[in-house]
């Protein structure tokens, strides 16, 4: 099935299909060269879209508008609940409405640099180009972005950039963008071009004749296993941050669809590239089920600091003194001190790592020792409480609800937490995986953020892929195969896949062991966070690999799933997802072990500069590591896609 | 703290359900309400009983999944809060907490505390959008929208679609939900072209789903996690009446 | 279906009917009150009787009165239809509900309050309107209105002495109590109903909504029912020489 990958002894070369020519003309040229499906023929094609977040909902809506018949699936009870909804801060676009020197090229450059030179130039430039169309489209849909008094759109700044290009709707930008995409999707449901399958989870991909032909799903209410066939399958299933158990992802966010596609042949690229977001509410107790993000936009006005000395920090932890008792000269505004030009607005990976370092030095401020202050006192003094309230009111409220502490009075306590995964299914410039007819969009693919994503770029990428890339690139594939190239759900390939899914479920239910999926998940999360989290080293990773393998063995012999398969059974859903997380965890460790360099979110302690910054190895690792599944218990095979930089010069990232 | 729970258990939509008592000890006041349920469910699983099924996802108050009727109020005693953002510090040691699913004809129970809220999706499908195809939008700043108008639209648009308004209303009315969408698009220039049709269709679908009428008790707005104002219901009424009297639609 | 039937069969359309009839009844209350205030005039009922005469003989008023009667009927019937629909919208009730935490009692009990008022209106109309038009009322074998409508003559013109009927009726304590209780129900009904009527019509604006709220709460909620209740009390006390 991987005939696109011409096998050689040393692994294969992956073809990114980024078109030749000057960077700024690649996408325009490519669009012209792509085949078109004539309007009358579009209705003869069926497309499956799995996931209804920003990427999925926008893709489903845009494709249906073109005339394709779309089936949209989500595990939530409504497409509107996909986790894109929780994105707070904003969405970037190179509009240069602020006249502050922004341009498509600057957004491209910031993103490539922010990603520590591990993303494709062509993809990223395209992303920057279409970013401006996204804002237009969303405004036309009625997304209530923040405005100036005169009625023009307002912007704010985000980490990793020195211009203001982030559009926002209070602290609920993701919600408003998703509801915009959801409304476009709903319109197509009403038009009869999209059929919705809520509370339906994809459990397998069907491949026949080397092409993606459809999916196997489980109806989460009745438990029924069903087959759906189509000309193409789009996985818009988000990231896999929940492999760490505790993350800012939703409880249901999972890797299952992507992982099952991976097991059917799709390559998983750069799985170890995970983003640890610096500003989250710290962990409080061992019952904790998830972590809550405090938008990066807070770093516009909040100052990050810890006490200068361990002794003072110790007193804070014991509750003997409070933040406001600490004198100005006893405070260390460590980001401002180390990175004077970007200050508190350094990229996420840098901010997170520095927070971890000061806590490791014993200067953390929560009883656990794992928290730094994010202080608004100066901003409130400068702008007044009203202004701060207007900007961040809902975030402050949320913080107070969770922590029971008033951030207007006492500084917030924050700590880094897993937030986003830059890695994902390998895709070419057309967003197609190595499996013909199988596409991956949004966070589910690996393509645009390299080793670290800049703030407010996830929303941009999800919508770029869905609204402005896939409508062009999918047509090229469909026109090539023709409307007749589809198999029925009665085909043995579907029956076999259905049987496999049923067998796996039956196997889980039959174990009747002692430990719940929740317990396995928690255990996996501990291993991943400890050894494959903010800082990694070869020794720890090797240890982690062994621990994960043991955990996997125990999972399949000691799992307890209550209830049956033919009913609504959240315990079964969870077990099925945790099984995939465990396998993914092992691959992440392999990937992290393979990459003997530090870049972006992947920080290998062995590879750092003298002042503790990430040290890349451009000579040996300027490639995308794409892994091929080789069967149960077999090591995965590494394929490399060389990253060619024609426009930017690789330098050490500096935010000083 | 020690907590006694009375929880609605129902196997599926065909089987009648009942309240079941549970006891939990060593609950931390810093736990969220759903984390308390996680503890209960782990206990039940270890005893070989089926855990309580409930909808939840983001656990940060924005996805609108969680939907528990706690001690006689949707999302519990704290206003402006979803169930997932409610913490056990809102209760006292030794409290008995009654937990039920949303109750409405249009929201049938699927299992335990999970209800089917597809009716909301169908209402949005009836007209909760601006008909604009991808790619046909003018430059975003060509549509100037005064800040207070954008703010008003945002006040309505932040509805999370959880259904607490329906659960709180003595008539199980969905007016606040429908009003939030109609109002959001009615105040914006982008929504003008279809504002009459939208109000008419969404109200017709709301009625067809079997939601009750608005009695202006204000319960919906009080219990709304986003505190969406009754002003929007007035606007919906205005939009609907205006459309019925002045539009060319049947 | 025509647009009229579509509108009237929608919940919103039905609420509009409730609102329009309700607000019309509110406007009637003002006229009725102003007229009945003549009872307080110490003129042995002359102003009151002349007012009653005018009300029963002016053709415009007579036409409006039929509109009034039908409004009461439509308001009540529509309330019944809506209540049944609303109850059907929640077939399974909550085991434990705490509605007092989120809404005023009056807003949740408009049906009960309305029913009390409807019963009151029937008794009230039987006592006065019916007697005025058709003769005395007999209850439990006892004539509770004046045995026959007496006549009075003002400036040589004989007219029916409704004042005497009124004084007679309000000489009974239980009858006075019935009125007072009903006016309390009316008060609660209007505190919510008046504002609700404007809400249903979409007439809500931060500039003038406070005025509607003020009028609804103090005008229709307190002053009007209180003045209405004061009449039977005043007459009773006067008839029994207690205070006046």
Note the pLDDT of residue A1.
Answer: 40
Would the CB atoms of C85 and B212 count as touching at under 8 Å? yes
Do the bridges between strand B109-111 and strand B114-115 make them parallel or antiparallel, or are there none, so unpaired?
antiparallel
**B132 shares its domain with B153:** yes
Interface contact A467, partner B, CB < 8 A: yes
- B166 in the same domain as B81: no
C55: domain CATH number is: 1.20.1300.10
Res A4: pLDDT: 44
Instruction: Specify burial of residue A233 (Cβ count, 10 A radius: 0-12, 13-18, 19+).
Output: buried
Q: What is the dihedral of CA C83, C85, C86, C87, to 10 degrees?
A: 90
Q: How confident is the model at residue C142 (pLDDT cuts 50, 70, 90)?
A: low
Structural domain that includes position C55: 3-239
The answer to whether residues A551 and A595 belong to one domain is yes
pLDDT of amino acid C148: 63
Residue in B with minimal Cα distance to C7:
B244
Same domain, A437 and A549: no
Q: Which of B55, B78, B111 is the last residue of a domain?
A: B111
Which of B57, B139, B178, B197 is the best residue to mutate to test the A interface, defined by the most A CB atoms within 10 Å of its own CB? B57
A103 with A153, same domain: the answer is yes
Cα(A629)–Cα(A638) distance, rounded to whole angstroms? 9
Q: Does A655 reside within a domain?
A: no
- B64 and B154 in a single domain? The answer is no
Q: What are the E-state strand segments in chain B?
A: 3-9, 18-24, 69-70, 73-74, 96-100, 109-111, 114-115
pLDDT for C116 beyond 50: yes
Alpha-carbon span A194 to A179, nearest angstrom: 17
Q: What is the C-alpha to C-alpha distance for residues B58 and B64, in angstroms, rounded to an integer? A: 8
Give me the residues of C, 123-182, that contact B with CB < 8 A: none
pLDDT of residue A7: 43
| B105 and B171 part of one domain | no
**The pLDDT of residue C141 is above 70:** no
Chains C vs B: touching, with 3+ CB pairs under 8 Å? yes
A289 and A371 part of one domain = yes
Q: Which residues of B touch C91 (CB under 8 A)?
A: 105
The Cβ-side half-sphere exposure at B134, using a 13 Å CA radius, reads 30
Chain A contact probe: residue of B58, B75, B185, B197 with most A CBs at under 10 A: B58
Residue C85: list chain B partners with CB under 8 A.
Answer: 212-213
One domain, residues B8 and B49: yes
Question: Do A380 and A459 share a domain, yes or no?
Answer: no
Q: State whether residue C163 is helix, strand or coil.
A: helix
> Could you tell me if B67 and B162 are in contact, meaning their C-beta atoms sit under 8 angstroms apart?
yes
Claim to verify: residue B127 and residue B17 sit in the same structural domain = no
C138 domain-assigned: yes
Q: Which of A370, A393, A418 is the last residue of a domain?
A: A418
Q: Does residue C119 lie within any of the structural domains?
A: yes
B26/B96 same-domain check: yes
**Strand, coil or helix: B102:** coil
H/E/C letters for each residue in A88-146?
Answer: CCCEECCCCCCCCCCCHHHHHHHHHHHCCCCCCHHHHHHHHHHHHHHHHHHHHHCCCCC
Cα nearest neighbour of B239 on chain C: C202
Q: Which of A137, A397, A568 sits opposite B111 (nearest CB)?
A: A568
- Chain A CB within 8 Å of residue B108 CB: no
Number of H helices, E strands in chain B: 8, 7
The predicted pLDDT at position C130 comes to 81
In angstroms, the first-to-last Cα distance of chain C is: 62
Instruction: Give yes or no: residues A135 and A188 share one domain.
Output: yes
B171 contacts in chain C (CB < 8 Å): 86, 89-90
**Domain with A356 in it: what CATH number?**
3.90.700.10
From B233, B242, B244, residue closest to C3, measured CB to CB: B244
Alpha-helical segments (H) within C89-218: 105-108, 110-124, 131-134, 162-169, 173-200, 209-214
Residue C14, token pair as written in the block:
């039905």
Of B60, B130, B144, the CB nearest to A142: B130
Same domain, yes or no, for B161 and B96? no
Q: Is A251 on the interface with B (CB under 8 A)?
A: yes
What is the pLDDT, as a whole number, of residue A10? Answer: 45
Q: Which of A138, A143, A251 sits opposite B57 (nearest CB)?
A: A251
With an 8 Å Cβ cutoff, are A151 and B145 in contact? Answer: yes
> Across chain B, what does the average pLDDT equal?
97
**Residue of A137, A169, A290 with shortest CB distance to B59:** A290
The answer to whether residues A391 and A317 belong to one domain is: yes
Contact A167, A176 (CB under 8 A): no
Does A391 share its domain with A468? no
Same domain for A171 and A91: yes
Name the more confident of A9 and C98: C98
| Residues B105 and B180 grouped into a single domain | no
**Where does a domain end: A418, A433, A468?**
A418
Q: Does C98 touch chain B (CB under 8 A)?
A: yes
Tokens 């896949």, residue located = A497
* Best B110, B123, B129 residue to mutate vs chain A (most A CBs within 10 Å): B129
Boundary of a domain, candidates B111, B142, B167 = B111
Task: Check which CATH number belongs to the domain holding B93 and give it.
Answer: 3.10.20.30
- pLDDT tens, B214-229? 999 999 999 999 999 9
Is C223's pLDDT higher than 70? Answer: yes
Q: A101 and A180 share a domain?
A: yes
Report percent pLDDT > 70 for chain B. 100
The domain tally of chain A equals 3
Percent over 70 (pLDDT), chain C: 94
* Torsion angle defined by CA atoms of residues B57, B62, B68 and B69, in that order, rounded to the nearest 10 degrees: 180
* C152–chain B nearest CA distance, Å: 48
Alpha-carbon gap, residue A339 to A579, rounded angstroms: 42
Quick one: pLDDT at residue B171? 98
User: A191 with A299, same domain?
Assistant: no
Instruction: State the Cα–Cα distance between residues A463 and B115, nearest whole angstrom.
Output: 30
**Last residue within a domain, chosen from A386, A418, A450:** A418
Is C185 within the bounds of a domain? yes
CB pairs under 8 A between A and B: 232
Of B93, B111, B129, the position where a domain reaches its end is B111
Cα–Cα distances in angstroms (integers) from residue B57 to residues A247, A260, B63, B84, in the given order: 12, 22, 7, 9
Neighbours of chain A (3+ CB pairs under 8 A): B
CB-CB neighbors (< 8 A) of B89 in chain A: 404
Residue B176, pLDDT score: 98
Which helix (H) or strand (E) segment holds residue A424: the answer is strand A424-425
Burial of A10 (0-12, 13-18, 19+ CB in 10 A): exposed
**What is the domain extent for residue A332?**
277-418
Q: Do A275 and A455 touch, CB atoms closer than 8 A? A: no
Asked whether residue A41 is domain-assigned, the answer is no
How many other CB atoms are there within 10 angstroms of residue A577's CB atom? 22
Q: Does A198 touch chain B (CB under 8 A)?
A: yes
What's the whole-number mean pLDDT along residues C224-238?
A: 96
At C91, list the tokens: 């077939």
Within a domain: residue C86?
A: yes
Give CA–CA dist A248/A250, Å, rounded. Answer: 7
The crossing angle, in degrees rounded to 10, of helices A173-190 and B118-125 is 70
pLDDT in tens, C8-51: 999 999 999 999 999 999 999 999 999 999 999 988 899 999 99
As a whole number, mean pLDDT of residues B172-196 equals 98
Give the pLDDT score at B6: 98
- Per the structure, the count of domains in chain B is 2
Using CA coordinates, name the residue in chain B closest to A64.
B133
State the Cα angle at A271 between A278 and A71, rounded to 5°: 100
Longest Cα separation, chain B: 64
For position A2, what pLDDT does the model report? Answer: 44
CB contact under 8 A, B188 and A142: yes
Q: Does A282 reside within a domain? A: yes
Does a structural domain hold residue A11? no
Residue A469 sits at the vertex; the CA angle it makes with A464 and A472, to the nearest 5 degrees, is 155
Is A21 a domain residue? no
Whether C11 sits inside 8 A of B214 (CB atoms) is yes
**What is residue B57's predicted lDDT score, i.e. its pLDDT?**
98
Q: Tell me phi and psi for residue A69, to 5 degrees.
A: -90, 125
Minimal C-alpha gap between C227 and chain B (Å):
27
SS3 at position B19:
strand
Chains with 3 or more CB pairs under 8 A to chain B: A, C
Which chain B positions have a beta carbon within 8 Å of C89's beta carbon? 104-106, 171-173, 210-212
Residues of B with Cβ-Cβ distance to A142 under 8 angstroms: 129-130, 153, 157, 184-185, 188, 190-191
Nearest CA in chain B to A82: B63
Give the CATH number of the domain where residue A532 resides. Answer: 1.20.58.100
User: Are the beta carbons of B216 and C107 separated by less than 8 Å?
Assistant: yes
C86 interaction partners in chain B (CB closer than 8 Å): 170-173, 212-213, 215
Task: Verify whether the Cβ–Cβ distance B250 to C6 is below 8 Å.
Answer: yes
What residues of chain A score a pLDDT lower than 70? 1-13
Which of chain C's residues have a Cβ under 8 Å away from the Cβ of B209? Answer: none
Taking alpha carbons only, the member of C166, C184, C177 closest to residue C39 is C166
Question: Do residues A425 and A258 touch, judged by C-beta distance below 8 A?
Answer: yes
3-class secondary structure, C91: coil
| Residue A97 located in a structural domain | yes
> What does the buried/exposed string (b/e) look like for C11-27 if buried means 16 or more CB atoms within 10 Å of the residue's CB?
bbbbbbbbbbbbbbbbe
Q: Which domain holds residue B150?
A: 118-246
Tokens describing residue A267 = 């390559």
CA within 13 Å, CB half, C201: 16
Active site (catalytic) residues of A? 348
Q: pLDDT class for B5, splitting at 50, 70, 90?
A: very high
Q: How many domains does chain C have?
A: 1
The nearest CA of chain C is from the CA of B237 a distance in Å of 5
Say yes or no: A99 contacts chain B, CB-CB below 8 A: no
Query: What tens digit of pLDDT does each residue of B66-107 get?
Result: 999 999 999 999 999 999 999 999 999 999 999 999 999 999
List b or e across C156-173, with b for residues whose CB sees 16 or more CB atoms inside 10 angstroms.
eeebbbbbbbbbbbbbee
Structural domain includes residue C244? no
Q: B55 — contact with chain A (CB < 8 Å)?
A: yes
Asked whether residue A154 falls in the same domain as residue A250, the answer is: yes
Of B58, B160, B191, the CB nearest to A142: B191
B224: CATH? 1.10.1060.10
């Amino acid at each position: 099935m991987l005939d696109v990958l011409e096998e050689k002894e040393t692994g294969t070369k992956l073809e990114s299909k980024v078109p030749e020519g000057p960077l700024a003309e690649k996408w325009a040229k490519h669009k012209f060269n792509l085949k078109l499906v004539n309007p009358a023929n579009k209705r003869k094609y069926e497309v499956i879209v799995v996931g209804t977040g920003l990427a999925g909902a926008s893709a489903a809506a845009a494709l249906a508008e073109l005339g394709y018949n779309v089936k949209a699936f989500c595990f939530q009870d409504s497409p509107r609940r996909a986790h894109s909804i929780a994105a707070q801060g904003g969405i970037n676009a190179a509009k240069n409405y602020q006249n502050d020197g922004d341009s498509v090229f600057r957004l491209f450059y910031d993103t490539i640099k922010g990603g520590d030179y591990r993303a494709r130039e062509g993809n990223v430039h395209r992303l920057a180009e279409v970013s401006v169309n996204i804002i237009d489209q969303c405004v036309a849909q009625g997304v209530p972005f923040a405005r100036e008094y005169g009625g023009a759109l307002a912007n704010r700044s985000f980490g990793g950039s020195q211009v203001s290009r982030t559009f926002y709707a209070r602290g609920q930008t993701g919600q408003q963008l998703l509801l915009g995409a959801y409304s476009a999707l709903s319109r197509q449901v009403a038009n009869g071009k999209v059929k919705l399958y809520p509370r339906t989870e994809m459990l397998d991909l069907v491949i026949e004749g080397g092409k993606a032909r459809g999916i196997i799903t489980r109806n989460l209410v009745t438990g029924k296993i069903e087959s759906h066939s189509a000309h193409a399958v789009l996985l818009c299933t988000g990231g896999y941050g929940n492999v760490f158990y505790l993350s800012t992802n939703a409880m249901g966010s999972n890797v299952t669809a992507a992982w099952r596609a991976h097991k059917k042949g799709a390559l998983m690229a750069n799985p170890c590239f995970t983003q640890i977001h610096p500003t989250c509410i710290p962990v409080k107790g061992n019952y904790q089920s998830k972590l809550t993000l405090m938008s990066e936009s807070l770093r516009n006005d909040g100052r990050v600091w810890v006490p200068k000395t361990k002794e003072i920090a110790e007193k804070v932890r014991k509750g003997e003194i409070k933040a406001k008792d600490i004198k100005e000269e006893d405070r260390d505004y460590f980001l401002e001190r180390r990175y004077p030009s970007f200050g508190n607005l350094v990229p996420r990976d840098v901010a997170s790592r520095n927070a971890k370092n000061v806590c490791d030095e014993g200067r953390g401020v929560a009883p656990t020792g794992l928290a730094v202050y994010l202080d608004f006192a100066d901003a409130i003094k400068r702008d007044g409480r009203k202004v701060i309230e207007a900007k961040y009111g809902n975030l402050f409220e949320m913080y107070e609800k969770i922590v029971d502490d008033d951030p207007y009075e006492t500084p917030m306590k924050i700590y880094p937490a897993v937030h986003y995964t830059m890695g994902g299914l390998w895709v070419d410039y057309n967003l197609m995986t190595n499996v013909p007819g199988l596409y991956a969009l949004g966070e589910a693919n690996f393509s645009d953020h390299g080793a670290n994503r800049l703030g407010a770029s996830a929303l941009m990428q999800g919508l770029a892929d869905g609204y402005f890339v896939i409508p062009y690139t999918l047509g090229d594939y469909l026109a090539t195969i023709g409307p007749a190239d589809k198999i029925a759900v009665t085909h043995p390939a579907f029956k076999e896949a259905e049987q496999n899914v049923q067998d796996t479920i039956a196997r889980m239910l039959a174990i009747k062991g002692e430990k719940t999926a929740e317990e396995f998940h928690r255990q996996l999360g501990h291993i991943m966070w400890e050894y494959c989290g903010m800082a990694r080293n070869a020794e720890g990773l090797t240890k982690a690999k062994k621990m994960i393998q043991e955990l996997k063995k125990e999972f399949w012999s000691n799992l307890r799933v209550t209830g049956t398969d033919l009913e609504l059974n959240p315990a079964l859903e969870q077990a099925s997802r945790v099984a995939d997380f465990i396998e993914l965890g092992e691959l992440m460790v392999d990937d992290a072990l393979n990459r003997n360099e530090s870049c972006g979110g992947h920080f290998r302690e062995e590879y750092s500069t003298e002042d503790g910054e990430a040290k890349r190895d451009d000579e040996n690792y300027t490639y995308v590591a794409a892994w091929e599944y080789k069967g149960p218990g077999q090591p995965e095979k590494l394929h490399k896609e060389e990253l060619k930089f024609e426009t930017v010069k690789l330098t050490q990232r500096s935010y000083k | 703290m020690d907590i006694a729970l009375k929880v609605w258990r129902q196997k599926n939509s065909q089987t009648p359900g009942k309240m079941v008592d549970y006891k939990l000890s060593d609950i931390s006041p810093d736990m969220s309400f759903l984390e308390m349920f996680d503890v209960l469910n782990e206990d039940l699983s270890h005893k070989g009983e089926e855990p309580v099924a409930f909808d939840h996802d983001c656990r940060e108050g924005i996805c609108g999944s969680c939907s528990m009727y706690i001690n006689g109020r949707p999302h519990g005693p704290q206003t402006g809060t979803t169930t997932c953002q409610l913490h056990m510090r809102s209760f006292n040691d030794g409290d008995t907490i009654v937990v039920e699913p949303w109750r409405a004809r249009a929201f049938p129970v699927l299992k335990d505390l999970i209800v089917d809220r597809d009716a909301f999706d169908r209402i949005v499908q009836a007209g909760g959008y601006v008909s604009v195809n991808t790619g046909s939008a003018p430059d975003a700043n060509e549509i100037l929208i005064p800040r207070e108008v954008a703010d008003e639209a945002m006040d309505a648009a932040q509805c999370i679609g959880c259904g607490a308004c329906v659960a709180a209303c003595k008539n199980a009315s969905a007016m606040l939900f429908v009003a939030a969408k109609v109002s959001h698009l009615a105040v914006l220039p982008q929504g003008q072209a279809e504002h009459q049709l939208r109000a008419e269709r969404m109200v017709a679908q709301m009625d067809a789903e079997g939601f009750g009428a608005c009695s202006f008790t204000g319960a919906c707005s009080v219990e709304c996690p986003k505190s969406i104002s009754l002003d929007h219901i007035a606007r919906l009424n205005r939009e609907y009446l205006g459309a019925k009297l002045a539009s060319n639609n049947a | 279906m025509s647009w009229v039937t579509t509108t009237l069969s929608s919940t919103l359309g039905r609420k509009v009917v409730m609102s329009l009839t309700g607000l019309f009844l509110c406007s009637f209350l003002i006229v009725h009150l102003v007229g009945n205030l003549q009872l307080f005039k110490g003129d042995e009922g002359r102003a009151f009787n002349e007012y009653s005469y005018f009300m029963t003989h002016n053709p415009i008023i007579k036409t409006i009165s039929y509109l009034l009667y039908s409004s009461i009927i439509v308001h009540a019937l529509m309330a019944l239809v809506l209540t049944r629909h609303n109850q059907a919208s929640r077939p399974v009730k909550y085991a434990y509900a705490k509605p007092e935490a989120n809404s005023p009692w009056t807003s949740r009990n408009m049906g009960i309050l309305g029913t009390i008022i409807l019963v009151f209106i029937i008794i009230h109309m039987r006592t006065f309107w019916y007697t005025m038009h058709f003769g005395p009322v007999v209850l439990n074998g006892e004539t509770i209105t004046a045995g026959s409508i007496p006549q009075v003559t003002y400036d040589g013109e004989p007219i029916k002495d409704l004042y005497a009927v009124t004084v007679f009726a309000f000489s009974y304590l239980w009858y006075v109590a019935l009125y007072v209780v009903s006016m309390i129900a009316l008060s609660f009904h209007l505190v919510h109903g008046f504002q609700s009527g404007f809400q249903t019509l979409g007439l809500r604006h931060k500039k003038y909504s406070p005025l509607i709220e003020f009028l609804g709460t103090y005008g229709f909620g307190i002053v009007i029912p209180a003045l209405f209740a004061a009449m039977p009390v005043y007459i009773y006390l006067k008839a029994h020489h207690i205070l006046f």
